[in-house]
Amino acid sequence: MKLEAFAKLNLSLAVTGRRADGMHELDMLMQNISLADELEIFPADAVSLQCEGIPADESNTAVKAARLFFEAAGIRGGARMTLKKHIPAQAGLGGGSSDAGAVLNALNEIYGAGLSQEQLKEIAARIGADVPFFLKGGCMRARGIGEILSPVRNACDFSYLLVKPEGGVMTGPAYAKYHDLPAVTPDIGTAAAALEAGDREAYFNAAGNSLLPAGAALCPEVGTLLEECMEYGASFAMMTGSGSCVFAVFSDAAEEERAYAAFLGRYAFCVRARNTKEAFRVIGP
């Protein structure tokens, strides 16, 4: 089975508290976008992964997802997986989590295991807090540590310019830095209502990211990029997740094209993307 595993943007993110176990409580709007990793998954006797540029061992979320799937399904089997990465790491785009969600869905189909969405969600949560989102995806409001999901109808047909500087931001240090800085808590309910109404300006006014000050402190290029996006005519620009990727929305296609051409040769990663209605797509047998 061949699949595309789509990246995500945090269209708004609020840190709302911290649990006794140290995990942070969140309220956020998550949106899948057309930037995608490519996966090929075939039944085999053992679990294996081929992928250039990143570890293909037990630390890889795709391998971890396969192992946990067979354990939960009670199936003696394996998966021969090939992963072609297009979603950069340490960007806040959820690439590893998206791969894991796609693997769980694919293996459930390939082996006819019949695991329910709730069962898959339990497995997904053992891999990472945001992996449950990638079982279905689209646009959702995520609460708790990211596992409490409710769909949001995003009527804003955004085109995004994504730009990532050379430096990345690891999630752990970003949350640690968050506590050293003044709190920023955007109103997620207002941002969600704006998306559902298709009101771009109301969304731009309401959206925010509690982790932006931390991400910009750890990777100063984030702040520079945000300023440059606005100078090139963006209507809105924000960091996604814990960074370091920035996304910008332009009202004028010509200004977006001008910014894209300017950033393309200067930054490590620069692509354009649109919303998708799902977390993954099957593109071949």
Q: Is 182 annotated as a binding residue?
A: no
Q: Is 12 annotated as a binding residue?
A: no
Active site residue 164: no
Q: Is 90 annotated as a binding residue?
A: yes
Q: Is 165 annotated as a binding residue?
A: no
Q: Is 233 annotated as a binding residue?
A: no
Catalytic residue among 130, 136, 164, 177: 130
Q: Is 88 annotated as a binding residue?
A: yes
Q: Is 95 annotated as a binding residue?
A: yes
Q: Is 91 annotated as a binding residue?
A: yes
- CA 118, CA 192: separation in Å to the nearest integer? 25
Q: Are 222 and 198 in contact (CB under 8 A)?
A: no
Q: What tokens does 143 get?
A: 């609460």
Q: What is the DSSP string of the chain?
A: -EEEEEEEEEEEEEEEEE-TTSPEEEEEEEEEEEEEEEEEEEEESSEEEE-SSS--STTSHHHHHHHHHHHHHT---EEEEEEE--SPSSSSS-HHHHHHHHHHHHHHHHTT----HHHHHHHHHHH-TTGGGGGT-SEEEEEETTTEEEE-------EEEEEE-S----HHHHHHHHTTS------HHHHHHHHHHT-HHHHHHH--BTTHHHHHHH-THHHHHHHHHHHTT-SEEEE-TTSS-EEEE-SSHHHHHHHHHHHHTTSSEEEEEEB-SSSEEEEE-
Active site residue 8: yes
Per the annotation, where are the binding residues for ATP? 88-98
**Catalytic residue positions?**
8, 130
Per the annotation, where are the binding residues? 88-98
